[in-house]
Amino acid sequence: MSNEKESKPVKVPKGADYSHSPKKAMLLSIIPGFGQIYNKRRIKGILILTLFLAFAVVMFNFVTSGLQGLITLGETPRIDDSRVFIIEGIIAMFFVIFYAVMYVVNIKDAKAEAIKIQNGWSPGGLKENFKNAWDTSFPYVMIGPGLLLLIFVVILPLLFMAFMAFTNYNLFNAPPRNLLQWVGFENFIRLVTLSEWRNTFFSVLSWTLTWTFVATTLSIALAMFLAILTNDKRLKGTRLIRTVLILPWAVPGFVTIIIFSALFNDNFGAINLDIIQPLFGTSIPWMSNVMWSRIAIIMIQVWLGFPYVYALFSGVLKGISDDWYEAADMDGASRWQKFREITFPHLMFATGPLLLTQYTFNFNNFNIIYLFNEGGPAVRGQNAGGTDILISWVFKLTFDNAQFSMAAAISLILGLIVATFAFFQFRRSRSFREEGTM
């Protein structure tokens, strides 16, 4: 909790105290607070010691029983609820981590202050120290509430899910009636070895990847085409055109998807009745045939997804200086060359990381899959429908089949894939790296 701005590197510090040893301060800090007392900051030391002791006394029971529960998952069915045990275990882990971090901070603080004393710094009065402590801890106070909520609402469920993937929680073995057991990687092994699971898993996975790639790329391509088209200076009424082209983004997605699912209805949807039948004399089974369902969903997603990218692209295009194109004209470049050498790189450079988020978004685009026809049509020999992507399959496993552990295992795989995406995004967003080195 020291204020580092005050320790200026001076060659021969006034009142330097070389007998004061940072090593000693660190060693004493093994009992929290003692190092600070050695640094002649008694009140701070006593405060730290009291806080650490109080925390240890209050939390000891909870932490030990929590961690124990996490290992055993309970002993008597109907009384011990394994789910509660896991949750308490995770919270206990949070406390242990928090305690450990604080412990390290305490030792480092004692060391840093001892070095400063060695260089001639002497702790000021109580009031000044208090102010310094407030200054350093202020950002943490500000982040505190948000972080706390984040830990309990986002991180805790994610960890809970990760733990659940290694238990045997399903319809037939459900707490509080039964106890859960740790089963190691059994769920994952079953997923790739049992034919019934394996077939479903790999067909869903391959469709998820195809879907993500095709739907997103098509939206981006359409957006790029329209953005370049409407950037043409000869065109009149571009304001209106732009507004209309962005409209699909502005209308709530669930509304449009439900509308589309009605339009695509096999028997009385307007697309079959008014367009396909008069033109081709037949109707297309949009809902009941896997391939047609997939095509319909991709088309709808392009409708929903292109406007946002279009708006991004339009913004970038407006910013490209005419000089580039004039110079290209001087060299007699063709349109295609201008597009390839000027427009395309500009667009990609400015929006690259954002386009990547479009892919991750579609990868987990539960809304459209579920609202169109709930992942249907059913496929023989699978417990996922023909258009189910991983996340909608997880939903089915959770709410229809109560295969909680399996759902968690698949979610975990899903998470790993997203994390890989995230990793690439980190690397690509240049500005973030700059930010990190600040």
Binding positions for other proteins, 357-396, rule CB under 8 A: 357, 360, 364, 366-367, 370-371, 391, 394-395
In three-state secondary structure terms, 54 is helix
One residue of 55, 99, 249, 359 binding other proteins per CB under 8 A: 249
How big is the chain, counted in residues?
438
Judged by CB under 8 A, which stretch of 58-66, 182-190, 195-203, 249-257 contacts other proteins? 249-257
Query: Residue 270 interacts with other proteins (CB under 8 A)?
Result: yes
One residue of 91, 102, 263, 295 binding other proteins per CB under 8 A: 263
One residue of 98, 185, 202, 254 binding other proteins per CB under 8 A: 254
Longest Cα separation, the chain:
98
In three-state secondary structure terms, 318 is helix
- 């399996």: which residue's tokens? 406
Q: State the minimum distance, in angstroms, from the CB of residue 48 to other proteins.
A: 17
Q: Which of residues 97-136 bind other proteins (CB under 8 A)?
A: 135-136
Residue 339's closest CA among 320, 311, 356?
A: 320
Q: Which of residues 42-71 bind other proteins (CB under 8 A)?
A: none
One residue of 262, 321, 400, 401 binding other proteins per CB under 8 A: 262
CB 38 within 8 A of CB 115: no
CA–CA distance, 257 with 297 (Å, rounded to integer) = 9
Query: Residue 241 interacts with other proteins (CB under 8 A)?
Result: yes
Query: Residue 269 interacts with other proteins (CB under 8 A)?
Result: yes
- 């710094």: which residue's tokens? 121
Q: Which of residues 407-426 bind other proteins (CB under 8 A)?
A: 407-408, 411, 414-415, 418-419, 421-422, 425-426
Q: State the minimum distance, in angstroms, from the CB of residue 32 to other proteins.
A: 18
Q: Which of residues 152-191 bind other proteins (CB under 8 A)?
A: 152-158, 160-161, 164
One residue of 217, 256, 289, 382 binding other proteins per CB under 8 A: 256
Q: State the minimum distance, in angstroms, from the CB of residue 356 to other proteins.
A: 9
Q: State the minimum distance, in angstroms, from the CB of residue 43 to other proteins.
A: 22
Q: Which is nearer to other proteins, 136 or 199 (CB)?
A: 136
Q: How wide is the angle at C-alpha 405 spanned by C-alphas 198 and 172, nearest 5°?
A: 100
Query: Computed from CA positions of residues 344, 349, 350, 355, in that sequence, does the dihedral angle turn out positive or negative?
Result: positive
Q: Which of residues 191-220 bind other proteins (CB under 8 A)?
A: none
In three-state secondary structure terms, 180 is coil
Q: Which is nearer to other proteins, 283 or 360 (CB)?
A: 360
One residue of 64, 243, 277, 401 binding other proteins per CB under 8 A: 243
Q: State the minimum distance, in angstroms, from the CB of residue 89 to other proteins.
A: 13
One residue of 139, 278, 281, 381 binding other proteins per CB under 8 A: 139
CA–CA distance, 43 with 49 (Å, rounded to integer) = 10
Strand partners, 167: 182
Instruction: Find the Cα–Cα–Cα–Cα dihedral 316, 358, 212, 426, rounded to 10°.
Output: 100
One residue of 9, 331, 380, 381 binding other proteins per CB under 8 A: 331
Q: Which of residues 276-315 bind other proteins (CB under 8 A)?
A: 303, 308, 311-312, 315
Query: Residue 221 interacts with other proteins (CB under 8 A)?
Result: no
At 119, the amino acid letter reads N
Q: Under rule CB under 8 A, how many of the chain's residues touch other proteins?
A: 112
Please, which residues have CB within 8 angstroms of residue 320's CB and are 6 or more apart in sequence?
Answer: 342, 343, 346
One residue of 12, 57, 171, 438 binding other proteins per CB under 8 A: 438
- 């209308």: which residue's tokens? 251
67-72 long-range contacts, CB within 8 A, separation 24+: 67/92, 67/93, 67/96, 70/163
* Number of Cβ within a 10 Å radius of residue 287: 19
Q: State the minimum distance, in angstroms, from the CB of residue 14 to other proteins.
A: 27
- Preceding omega of 77 cis (within 30 degrees of 0): no
Query: Residue 5 interacts with other proteins (CB under 8 A)?
Result: no
